[in-house]
Amino acid sequence: MQQLTIAIDAMGGDFGPQVTVPAAVQALSQFPELKISIVGDRDEISTQLTHLNYTPPNSRLFIIHSDSAIGNNTLPSKALRHSRGSSMRIALDLVASKDAEACISAGNTGALVGLSRFTLKLLPGVERPALISPLPTKNNQCTWMLDLGANVSCDAETLFQFAVMGAELAEQSLGRKAKVALLNIGEEEIKGNDQIKRCAEMLYQCQNIEFIGYIEGDKLYQGIADVVVCDGFVGNVCLKTSEGVAHLFLEQLKSHLITSKFKQILAKWLFGDVISSLKGLNPDQYNGASLIGLRGIVIKSHGSADISAFNNAIKEAVHEVKRQIPNRISDRLEAVLLERHY
């Protein structure tokens, strides 16, 4: 079995080592081929390992001490200037120096995007990296959506590149051609802003991508498209709004049920499967958005991720290392560009 090493920013997210360390230990038991370099405050990490009765040194878990961590409110430009010695920067440097094959952080998104671009560099032909994540849809399918917040605005060419990168990532999981759509405020050709209209023209002309046209927000969870492309502002609002609506529904159901034990038992019998399937519709259930377009693998975890969610992000990193996602994206982009020029 081929070994692989993943670097984890232990200090990122709302809970830091309390979440990242147990999730890492869990991943080591799930993947015998996995090695982890965990970067952060040595004492805090050791305390967590002691809680777990897991005693380093272990030949598969390496603690790399860092003196600082990047705050959630630090401006990306400032984070970049003062990143030396921070857990996020060290974890990314390990990928840049090929000492690790992927990096995971639950820290400041803007800083992670900026630092990843700076340390790992973009793939040839890529203008902007994008955050992409699968969202649950009807009938237990999923739809990959990008960009989820790496870029506040995007031109037509950038959206086009996102479509190509997203299609490649989705196809690696689906094992078939991915249906790609552009998120818009109407399905007719006249709708939307200039960037979207021009990107649609480019996608219609591209033989390499199966473009199915525009999709509206209300169709997002119907499983019509495998990949949905939009700019990072719209994508982020869309994802968070969906989480908000899903939480509201689940909360409302719960609050009605706790009024009586009798109702609770009956509800479990009547709706046990429905409620768990409703929970499965919450986009929050997935964790681990990939920052794609870079010469290395970077996974962004939710800041509020718990141990199991952070563990999902590690699993996504392992999957991408095994599939060599950056190489595949690079090849796909080259193929599309060649098609365009000849």
| Ranges assigned E (strand) in the chain | 4-9, 34-40, 61-65, 102-105, 130-136, 142-146, 179-183, 210-215, 227-229, 289-292, 297-300
In angstroms, give the least distance from the CB of 144 to a copy of itself: 16
Angle at 300 between CA 299 and CA 301, to 5 degrees: 115
- Looking at 22, 149, 288, 326, which residue binds a copy of itself (CB under 8 A)? 149
Does 308 help bind a copy of itself (rule: CB under 8 A)? Answer: no
- Looking at 121, 248, 268, 308, which residue binds a copy of itself (CB under 8 A)? 248
Residue 60 DSSP label: T
- Looking at 234, 298, 313, 336, which residue binds a copy of itself (CB under 8 A)? 234
Nearer to a copy of itself, 205 or 260 (CB): 260
Does 140 help bind a copy of itself (rule: CB under 8 A)? Answer: no
How many other CB atoms are there within 10 angstroms of residue 106's CB atom? 31
- Give the Cα separation of 106 and 311 in Å (integer): 12
**Element containing residue 269 per DSSP (H, E):** helix 261-279
What tokens were used for 66? 């860092």
Number of residues that bind a copy of itself (CB under 8 A): 55
Does 110 help bind a copy of itself (rule: CB under 8 A)? Answer: yes
- Looking at 241, 268, 338, 340, which residue binds a copy of itself (CB under 8 A)? 241
Parallel/antiparallel/unpaired status of strands 142-146 and 130-136: antiparallel
- Looking at 42, 60, 198, 219, which residue binds a copy of itself (CB under 8 A)? 219
- x/- site string to a copy of itself, residues 270 to 299, per CB under 8 A? xx-xx--xx--x------------------
Binding span for a copy of itself by CB under 8 A among 41-49, 94-102, 241-249, 317-325: 241-249
Does 3 help bind a copy of itself (rule: CB under 8 A)? Answer: no
Does 246 help bind a copy of itself (rule: CB under 8 A)? Answer: yes
In angstroms, give the least distance from the CB of 278 to a copy of itself: 6
The whole-angstrom distance between residue 263's C-alpha and the CA centroid of its chain comes to 38
Nearer to a copy of itself, 193 or 207 (CB): 193
Nearer to a copy of itself, 188 or 341 (CB): 188
Residues contacting residue 182 through CB under 8 Å, at least 6 positions apart: 159, 163, 192, 196, 199, 200, 203, 213, 214, 215, 228, 229, 230
What is the chain's Cα-based Rg?
A: 21
Binding span for a copy of itself by CB under 8 A among 4-12, 59-67, 71-79, 201-209: 71-79
In angstroms, give the least distance from the CB of 268 to a copy of itself: 11
- x/- site string to a copy of itself, residues 256 to 275, per CB under 8 A? xx-----x--xx--xx-xx-
The whole-angstrom distance between residue 59's C-alpha and the CA centroid of its chain comes to 29
Residues contacting residue 51 through CB under 8 Å, at least 6 positions apart: none
- Give the Cα separation of 291 and 273 in Å (integer): 34
Contact residues for a copy of itself (CB under 8 A)? 72-73, 75, 110, 138, 149, 152-153, 183, 185, 188, 190-193, 216-222, 230, 232-234, 236-249, 251-253, 256-257, 263, 266-267, 270-271, 273-274, 277-278, 281
